[in-house]
Amino acid sequence: MVQQSESKHGMWSSRLMFIFAAAGSAVGLGNIWRFPYLAGENGGGAFVLAYLACIALIGLPILISEILLGRAGRQSPINAMVQLADVSKVSRNWQVIGWMGALAGFMILSFYAVIAGWAMAYVLEMMSGRFVGVDPAQAAASFETFISDPAQVVAWQTGFMILTIAIAARGVGRGLEVTVRYLMPALFFLLVALVIYSGVTSGRFVDGLAFLFQPDFERFDSSSLITAMGQAFFTLSLGMGAIMAYGAYMPKGSSIVGTAATIAVLDTSVALMSGLVIFPLVFANGLESSAGPGLMFITLPIAFGQMTGGQVFGTAFFVLVSFAAITSSISLLEPAVAWVVEKTSLGRVKAASLVGGVAWLLGLGSALSFNLGADWTLPNGFNFFDTMDYVSNNILLPLGGILIAVFAGWRLSGETLQEQMQEDQGALILWRFLTRYLAPVGVLIVFIVTIF
């Protein structure tokens, strides 16, 4: 296979910029509140060890596979899979990997923008001093008032989508890379500052540390292991086309294995550091370490509102969340935008506007699920938001991950594999074993347990 030296969409200027971009795709809202809560509730250090093992044995092999396929194809995930199937002399039906990834990313973006809009709104809420001295009832009432107002929710969803579209429309070099070049260092700076603030002002840093890292095997069981496997897979943005699309813009000559390992370390570091921000504050104020929106939009505002400097650092926290959301959202939009550019005469601006506009329109269903459409549910009790979340995260992503592992491990031509893994010959045998056997089986187990 004679590989294209560059993608028609542009290239990352360096390996570091690809790492920033891919880490930005992986680091999102789930890292900041979902991982710390899962660790604390499933045995602390025992869960963290299981999670790290699952990252190494399941997440990392599939991450390497996505980057490899993306760089080999140098196109949108859909067209890349068509080309790789032809080169490997297998059925073009393998392009379903690209279609599933683009669809999953598109669906996730539609409801992700709604939650990200909440985070952006809370930057202003924290700046205004609204939460200074509030009690739990007041904080909960404030959140409920906000999400029950369809005009506000849709306005913030729209603002977030406009920002995402504007960045994607500028292309790889002037849009995506410029964004991650500045937002990713800023994100890590804010996170370190918040860890220091939480540790110094709360007086409960050791308790937060113990909640996350002290092994408690009585709270760790088989379901905890399944949860760790699921989190390891989903946290790396696998199966949604984003990493494959970004891999298409990765410079040749860079180690795929080393790059993927760096991305995994950065992603996990953000998750762990987020826990060291959140739980000392929660414990210091005697609050409930609840999961989901309640932790981010009710519990934490109460904690910030009761502490010295809380207004400033609470604002910084929601800026951090907004940065993480935007670096993820642009990666979710990219696979579909790249495909539209390749298949039509539309330029980048029109393609981003079209795809983003449809995602925004679909997202209205999720935005209204918390107010006007709260009673519009399926027989299983799922509203529109729940349905989009369930189908994308519990069906499309794991199935896509399994297919990626099977194609890369069993069907990709040996010539293409050797060409892409030139810098990683020492890891090739181990990667192939994990990708062929352990990773797809692990994801399949998570899929079956989650569905049934």
pLDDT digits (tens, 9 = 90+) for 232-246: 888 898 999 999 999
pLDDT digits (tens, 9 = 90+) for 276-288: 999 899 888 888 7
Q: How far apart are CA 281 and CA 126, in angstroms?
A: 16
Is residue 327 domain-resident? yes
Q: Would you place residue 447 in the very low, low, confident or very high pLDDT band (cuts 50, 70, 90)?
A: very high
Identify which of 83, 407, 109, 440 has the alpha carbon closest to the alpha carbon of residue 248.
83
Beta-ladder partners of 370: none
- How far is the C-alpha of 19 from the C-alpha of 329, rounded, in Å? 16
Q: Is residue 444 part of a domain?
A: yes
Q: Is residue 420 predicted with pLDDT exceeding 80?
A: yes
pLDDT of residue 291: 67
Q: What is the mean pLDDT of the chain?
A: 93
Alpha carbons 419 and 68: distance in angstroms, whole number = 10
Region 21-28 average pLDDT: 93
Mean pLDDT to the nearest integer, 302-314? 92
Contact 44, 286 (CB under 8 A): no
The span from the CA of 256 to the CA of 421, in Å, is 7
The yes-or-no verdict on residue 1 having pLDDT over 60 is no
Look at residues 293, 262, 253 and name the one whose alpha carbon lies nearest to residue 422. Answer: 253
pLDDT of residue 4: 66
Number of domains in the chain: 1
State pLDDT tens for residues 309-343: 999 999 999 999 999 999 999 999 999 999 999 99
Residue 1 lies in a domain: no
Residue 5 lies in a domain: no
Q: How far apart are CA 135 and CA 302, in angstroms?
A: 6
Task: Provide mean pLDDT across the span 136-150.
Answer: 95
Domain containing residue 273: CATH number: 1.20.1740
7 in a structural domain:
no
Whether the per-residue pLDDT at 126 is higher than 80: the answer is yes
- Please give the pLDDT value at position 290: 66
DSSP state of 215: B
Range of the domain at 258: 15-451
User: Looking at per-residue confidence, does 432 or 39 come out higher?
Assistant: 432
Nearest CA to 409 among 398, 400, 417? 417
- Shortest CA distance to 238 belongs to which of 354, 452, 70? 70
In a domain, 94, yes or no: yes
Report pLDDT for 3: 57
Average of per-residue pLDDT across 159-182: 97
Average of per-residue pLDDT across 9-13? 94
Ramachandran sector of residue 344 (left: φ over 0; alpha: ψ -120 to 50; beta: rest):
beta
Fill in the DSSP letter of residue 219.
Answer: G
Average pLDDT for 257-276: 94
Which range is least confidently modeled, 56-65, 292-301, 400-409?
A: 292-301
Average pLDDT over residues 342-367: 96
Whether 2 shows a pLDDT value over 60: the answer reads: no
In a domain, 235, yes or no: yes
Report the percent of the chain where pLDDT is more than 90.
80
**244 neighbors 335 (Cβ within 8 angstroms):** yes
